[in-house]
């Protein structure tokens, strides 16, 4: 069995033939302050390089009170929207002089709490969180310890700052367009109804019904969670209740869309599928499907930039405001260029 040995500053000092204090001063960039000779500095640095030694980041953070790292907590690494957010945030964190540490909550409060505690133990300078709970107290306690900013999901009833997508107006625009040609019926498949994205998307759907002069009927709105299997079950239930597919279908996430399409594909029903399908979230594979599916895409770059800018301001003791960013509308059912839902 291979035995691994972690080098310490004591080891570097011994190999370089200097005291531990001298080695520590050199490796932590304080050699000039203590007038350590250039020759000694080079000997210590060369020993560290030759042995691939890096000073303890945690120890340095404890001394300086700053780690130059930020934590990002997202519900699922496999979720396309959340993965896109993390991908967009990492390079701009690097440009701002920060290292980004990412953990997943799996949309479970206990796992989220464990992830946040781990990041705090790593001495991160601030947290950006896609919250999995609508309970303010879950996050207010952390906000007293370090700067904390919410992204993608807000928590109503508390003062935690956030940046979210203006989902309501985007959903209204697309569903209303679909109802212009098929005004008699529309169905909504959603996820967790107590989360702010679900609230905003359903509000936009209902606003479209109202503007189209349609009264919502029983069974038009169905919700479970945002997992693929829920999309399948919701489509199965809807088809059984109606005896057919709805004229217009809106799915609150691409995972729900995947489940709904799985049911349609399994029964070879593409020829009798909903006449208009709209989904929140977009993916380039939708361009390859036989069905023309309109999609609402979150601007991950704008979400990442807005949240990081505000978090860095909070680290610098500045107050952060909350804001929304417009979504992008991808029309496939008609030949219209991609729009921003301003």
- Look at residue 9 in the predicted model and tell me its pLDDT: 80
- Look at residue 1 in the predicted model and tell me its pLDDT: 42
- Residue that is written with structure tokens 């489940």 in the block: 259
Dump pLDDT digits (tens) for 290-335.
Answer: 899 999 999 999 999 999 999 999 999 999 999 999 999 999 997 6
- Look at residue 84 in the predicted model and tell me its pLDDT: 93
- Look at residue 278 in the predicted model and tell me its pLDDT: 98
- Asked whether the predicted pLDDT for residue 90 surpasses 80, the reply is yes
The matching CATH number, chosen from 3.40.50.300, 1.10.260.40, 3.40.50.410, 1.10.150.120, for 9-55 is 1.10.260.40
Q: Is the CATH number 3.40.980.10 carried by domain 167-299+331-340?
A: no
- Asked whether the predicted pLDDT for residue 71 surpasses 80, the reply is yes
What is the H or E stretch that residue 103 is in?
strand 99-104
Range 91-101 average pLDDT: 94
Where are the extended beta strands (E) located within 224-266?
248-251
Task: Tell me the average pLDDT of the chain.
Answer: 90
Dump pLDDT digits (tens) for 20-69.
Answer: 888 888 887 778 877 889 888 889 888 888 887 766 555 555 454 577 89
Q: Which of 250, 254, 339 is nearest to 299 (CA)?
A: 339
262 compared with 28, residue with greater pLDDT = 262
| Domain residue spans of the chain | 9-55, 67-164+300-324, 167-299+331-340
The answer to whether domain 67-164+300-324 and domain 167-299+331-340 are alike in fold is: yes
The CATH H-level superfamily of 67-164+300-324 is Response regulator (3.40.50.2300)
Dump pLDDT digits (tens) for 137-175.
Answer: 889 999 988 999 999 999 988 899 999 999 999 999 999
Report whether 77 contacts 83 (CB < 8 A). yes
Report whether 139 contacts 160 (CB < 8 A). yes
- Look at residue 58 in the predicted model and tell me its pLDDT: 52
* pTM score of the predicted model: 0.80
269-304 per-residue burial string, b: 16 or more CB within 10 A, e: under 16: eeeebbbbbbbbbbbeebeeeeeebbbbbbbbbbbb
Range 255-280 average pLDDT: 93
- What is 141-161 written as a DSSP string? HHHTTS-EEEES---TTS---
- Asked whether the predicted pLDDT for residue 2 surpasses 50, the reply is no
- Look at residue 157 in the predicted model and tell me its pLDDT: 86
Q: Can you give the length of the chain in residues?
A: 342
């Amino acid at each position: 069995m291979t035995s691994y040995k972690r080098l310490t500053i004591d080891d570097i000092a011994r190999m370089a033939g200097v005291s531990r204090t001298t080695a520590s001063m050199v490796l932590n960039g304080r050699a000039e302050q203590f007038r350590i000779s250039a020759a000694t500095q080079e000997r210590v640095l060369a020993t560290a390089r030759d042995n691939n030694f890096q000073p303890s980041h945690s120890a340095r953070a404890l001394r300086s009170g700053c780690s130059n790292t930020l934590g990002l907590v997202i519900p699922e690494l496999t979720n396309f929207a959340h993965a896109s957010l993390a991908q967009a945030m990492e390079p701009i964190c690097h440009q701002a002089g920060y290292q980004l540490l990412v953990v997943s909550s799996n949309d479970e409060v206990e796992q989220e709490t464990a992830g946040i505690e781990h990041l705090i133990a790593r001495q991160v300078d601030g947290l950006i969180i896609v919250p999995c709970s609508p309970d303010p107290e879950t996050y207010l306690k952390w906000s007293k310890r370090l700067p904390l900013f919410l992204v993608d999901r807000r928590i109503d009833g508390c003062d935690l700052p956030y940046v979210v997508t203006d989902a309501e107006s985007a959903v209204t625009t697309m569903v209303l367009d679909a109802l212009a040609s098929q005004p008699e019926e529309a169905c909504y498949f959603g996820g967790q109804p107590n989360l702010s994205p679900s609230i905003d998307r359903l509000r936009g759907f209902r606003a479209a019904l109202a503007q189209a002069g349609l009264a919502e009927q029983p069974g038009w709105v169905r919700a479970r969670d945002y997992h693929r299997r829920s999309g399948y079950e919701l489509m199965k239930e809807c088809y059984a209740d109606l005896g057919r597919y709805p004229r217009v279908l809106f799915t609150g996430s691409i995972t729900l869309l995947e489940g709904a399409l799985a049911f349609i594909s399994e029964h070879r029903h593409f020829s009798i599928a909903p006449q208009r399908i709209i989904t929140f979230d977009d993916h380039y594979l939708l361009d390859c499907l036989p069905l023309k599916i309109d999609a609402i895409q979150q601007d991950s770059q704008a979400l990442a930039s807005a949240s990081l800018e505000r978090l860095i301001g909070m680290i610098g003791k500045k107050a952060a405001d909350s804001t929304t960013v417009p979504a992008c509308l991808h029309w496939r059912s008609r030949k219209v260029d991609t729009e921003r839902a301003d």
